Amino acid sequence: MSDEELIAAAGRWIAQDPDEETRAELEALVDAARDGDESALADLHDRFDTRLTFGTAGLRGALGGGSNRMNRVVVAQTTAGLARFLLAREATPSVVIGYDGRKNSDVFARDVAEILTGAGVRAVLLPRLLPTPVLAFAVRHLDVSAGVMVTASHNPAQDNGYKLYLGGDSAGSQIVPPADREVLGAIEDILAEGPADALPRSANYATADESVVDAYVEATAARRAPAAELTWVYTPMHGVGWDTAARVFERAGIPAPHTVDAQLQPDGTFPTVAFPNPEEAGALDLALSTADQAGADVVVANDPDADRLAAAVRRPDGNWRTLSGNDLGLLLGWAAAERAQRDGFSGTLAASLVSTPGLQRIAEHYGLGYAETLTGFKWISRVPGLLFGFEEALGFLVDPEKVRDKDGISAAVALLDQLLSLSARGSTLDEHQREFDATFGCFTSAQISLRVTRLEEIGAAMAKLRSAPPQEIGGIAVERLDDLAHGGALPPSDVLRFQLAEGARLIARPSGTEPKLKLYLDVAARTGSVEERRARAADVLARLTAGARDLIS
């Protein structure tokens, strides 16, 4: 839009914004832009030239005024569109709403409840700030039409978001096409009809009692852990996981952890970490330090909304090994396959296409089905006959009958159960890993992210890879390029998959939640002794990593 149209659009936004902070923020920018401040004008264009839309994890963005930010106006308009979508599907729809400890999460959640109720949709607000898995559980437990979780998960402190789940045939999974397009269409109709402050509201929504949380705790702790010694550390990384996780651990018979007290209570400013994402370098430093002081051998971390799990284990030499999402996925997937065989179950293991191919090898070994999906648990959770699903970004679905989304607390219980079982029989995770590598092969992986300031840089990088694809990467020949933009077995997606010699693979895709281009590197070595497999995999991964860095430099 032109500068004049931009100033007018900002003025209309200010007039409908119920939030004093974002109104003042925009008024200051408008005044500065009118005085000729180019940076203020550029900021306004960034806020108003486009609008936040549903992506891999729903609606997510930086807090602030404008259509391209997370704020009370965007939340109200989105919710009014959701209400219209639901009312077109059923006569008496219902929605459960949850929220975490980020700035404005509680405010946005109440806005959602009031707008839904004002539109004639039955709304139920969870009793307090809670983990995302509790909300995902509540969609099925309360048998509602949809669920909304106000969270930005592991994003930087300045972000917030809006995750949408559907009940009914979707059974509590996150929204997927064509429903997402239908919701967006309803939102666009709402935008055309008038300002957000004209939307009807009502405070006559219901608030759930603690029985919802109690039911989640009971279901998550249903499998009792074996009696064994384990000294371990837990951190919720300034998020909302501790209260619920502590109850689950106690109920499951897991020894009480040492805690990272500086990170134990919810704090939306995340003061002790640069990014509240356990994947980021340094994010576990405080937990590892606590573990050293406590003489612990294991560190377990949830991200701020407790839907992801990170872990580190002490090596025999005393140093720490941080388990990647692929490491954890293979350990938990192996346990799920063994349990299915022991209990006589059949079913399917599933992973996102950017996750290690090792899970497919496990499925083949145990005669189970295997499914590869697009990234995001909205796809993994919908796999028929799912026994276990994961994606390398520390997301794990260990109990599909309870929650149809990744669940960091359930995954923590599954991991701790495995570690306690090993301890009870006098074994270690290192020995367990050796057995895995001997049985299935050595699977190693790495990830390279290119963080950008302008999203068009990602598009340019993907376009370059498509127009001039490499013939080799790190001296390893490219044998095939799969461009998933053209579809095939999976829906079309902006993903390039390079199959290379020597058991190597490289996948390039834009992040669905952050301004990043991501490269996923995987190597499999399945011949020779365990030592030979590990050495070969490490050598190939090192060469592939060096070549991948050159590819995007």
**Catalytic residue positions, numbered:** 153
Nearest to 507 by CA among 448, 467, 453: 448
| Residue in this structure with the two tokens 């008038």, named with its chain if needed | 194
CA distances from 198 to 115, 137, 203, 483, 512 (A): 11, 33, 16, 46, 33
Burial of 253 (0-12, 13-18, 19+ CB in 10 A): middle
| Rounded Cα distance, 226 and 204, in Å | 46
Contact 173, 381 (CB under 8 A): yes
CA atoms within a 13 Å half-sphere pointing along the CA-CB vector of 26:
31
State both tokens at 171.
Answer: 């059974």
Spatial CA neighbour of 407 closest among 30, 138, 61: 138
In whole angstroms, what is the distance from residue 302 CA to residue 62 CA?
22
| 197, 115 contact by CB (below 8 A) | no
Closest CA to 276 of 235, 248, 326: 235
Record the tokens describing residue 235, joined without a space. Answer: 């951190």
CB 153 within 8 A of CB 160: no
Rounded Cα gap, residues 163 and 396, in angstroms: 17
Helix or strand or coil: residue 185?
helix
Token duo for residue 93: 């729809």
For 437, half-sphere exposure in the C-beta direction (CA atoms, 13 angstrom radius) is 23
Residue 359, C-beta contacts closer than 8 angstroms, at least 6 positions apart:
329, 330, 333, 349, 350, 351, 370, 390
For residue 486, count CB atoms less than 10 angstroms from its CB and return exposed for 0-12, middle for 13-18, buried for 19 or more. exposed
> What is each CA distance from 532 to 234, 357, 437, 521, 528, in whole angstroms?
35, 20, 11, 20, 6
Taking the C-alpha atoms of residue 111 and residue 203, their distance in angstroms, rounded to an integer, is 9
CA distance 513 to 525: 32
Tokens encoding 236: 């919720």
**538 secondary structure, DSSP code:** H
